[in-house]
Structure 1
Amino acid sequence: MTAIKHIDGPNGHKLAYARTEGEGPVIVFLSGYKSDMEGTKAVHLEAWAKLTGRAFLRFDYSGHGISGGVFEEGCIGDWARDAQAVIEATCEGPVVLVGSSMGGWIASLMTQRLRHVVGFVGIAAAPDFTEDGFWAGFSDEQRQQIMQDGQVALPSDYGDPYIVTRRLIEDGRENLVLRSPLHMPYPVRLVQGTEDTAVSRETALRLLDHIDSPDLRLTLVKGTDHRFSEPQNLRHIEEAILEVLA
Structure 2
Amino acid sequence: MAGDDVMFLDVGEGDKRRHIAYLHAGAAAPETPSLLWLTGLKSDMVSTKAEALAHWTAPRGLGLTRFDYSGHGRSDGVFEDATVSDWLEESVAVFREVTKGPQILVGSSTGGHLALLLLRRLVETAPDQATRVRGLVLVAPAWDLTEELMWNRYTDDARREIIEQGRWVQPSAYDPAGYVITRQFIEDGRRHLIKNAAFDPGRPVLVLQGVQDKDVPVEHARALADVLGGDWVRITEVPDGEHRLSRPEDLAKLYGLIETLL
Give the TM-score range, shorter chain.
over 0.9
Query: Could you say which residue in structure 1 is the equivalent of 2:69?
Result: 61
User: CA–CA distance in 2 between the matches of 1:153 and 1:121?
Assistant: 31
Query: Could you say which residue in structure 1 is the equivalent of 2:196?
Result: 179
1:17 aligns with 2:25: no
User: CA–CA distance in 2 between the matches of 1:61 and 1:53?
Assistant: 26
Query: Could you say which residue in structure 2 is the equivalent of 1:83?
Result: 91
Which structure shows the higher strand fraction?
A: 1
Percent identical among aligned pairs is 38
1:153 aligns with 2:169: yes
**Residues 216, 134 of structure 1: CA spacing in aligned structure 2 closer, same or farther, 3 A cutoff?**
closer
Query: Could you say which residue in structure 2 is the equivalent of 1:222?
Result: 239
1:232 aligns with 2:260: no
Match of 1:182, SS state, is coil
Query: Could you say which residue in structure 1 is the equivalent of 2:226?
Result: 209
Aligned with 1:143 (options 155, 159, 164): 159
**Residues 213, 242 of structure 1: CA spacing in aligned structure 2 closer, same or farther, 3 A cutoff?**
farther
Q: Where do 5+ consecutive residues of structure 2 fail to align?
A: 123-129
Query: Could you say which residue in structure 2 is the equivalent of 1:47?
Result: 55
Contact 1:125-1:199 within 8 A present in 2 as well: yes
Most deviating of 178-187 and 45-54: 178-187
Q: Where do 5+ consecutive residues of structure 1 fail to align?
A: none
User: CA–CA distance in 1 between the matches of 2:10 and 2:74?
Assistant: 13
**CA distances 1:1-20 after superposition (whole Å, capped 9, x unpaired):** 27211111224110011111
1:26 aligns with 2:42: no
User: CA–CA distance in 2 between the matches of 1:118 and 1:215?
Assistant: 12
Contact 1:153-1:164 within 8 A present in 2 as well: yes
Question: Given the two structures, how large is their TM-score scaled by the length of structure 2?
Answer: 0.90
Shift of 1:213: 4.4
1:104 aligns with 2:112: yes
Match of 2:214, SS state, is coil
Contact 1:186-1:213 within 8 A present in 2 as well: no
**CA distances 1:111-157 after superposition (whole Å, capped 9, x unpaired):** 11222211101100001121112111222222121111110011101
**Residues 68, 179 of structure 1: CA spacing in aligned structure 2 closer, same or farther, 3 A cutoff?**
same
Runs of 4+ in 1 over 6 A off after TM superposition: none
Query: Could you say which residue in structure 1 is the equivalent of 2:211?
Result: 194
User: CA–CA distance in 2 between the matches of 1:20 and 1:220?
Assistant: 30
